[in-house]
Structure 1
Amino acid sequence: MRTYTLTTDQIAEAFERAYSKGYDRSSAVSKTANPDDYKNTQAYHHFRCQDLEPLLFDLGGKR
């Protein structure tokens, strides 16, 4: 498990970017593009598992 040190502004930015990126990806594969359905798509889970850590490092998070 890794530990990150981020400011509250960096945390807010990370959540905004993560939601936007995950939603955009999952909307592309969701048949209904319903915001309530995006968490059930593979694209959303792929984003959470593969892209969140690099996103934190891009914001200047320290391990």
Structure 2
Amino acid sequence: MLFMRFVPQVKPKNRLLVACHFPNEYAQLMQLVRFTNYKYGTTSPMKQYEILSTVVKPTVEFVHST
């Protein structure tokens, strides 16, 4: 955002410069949002992606005698 404020002062007008700055600024803001959600959002940010185990564990151990 710091450099975007100097774009109107560039002579001749450079629309490509403006076109490159806006998506870059948007991407940086989204990364900042993702970081703050990760750092300060939830106590376990990846909890929503955990796969719950549906496998039943055996209750009886198999003893192999030799």
Q: TM-score, normalization: structure 2?
A: 0.37
Task: Determine which structure has greater relative contact order: mean sequence separation of CA pairs < 8 Å that are 6+ residues apart, divided by chain length.
Answer: 1
Q: Name the one with the larger helix percent.
A: 1
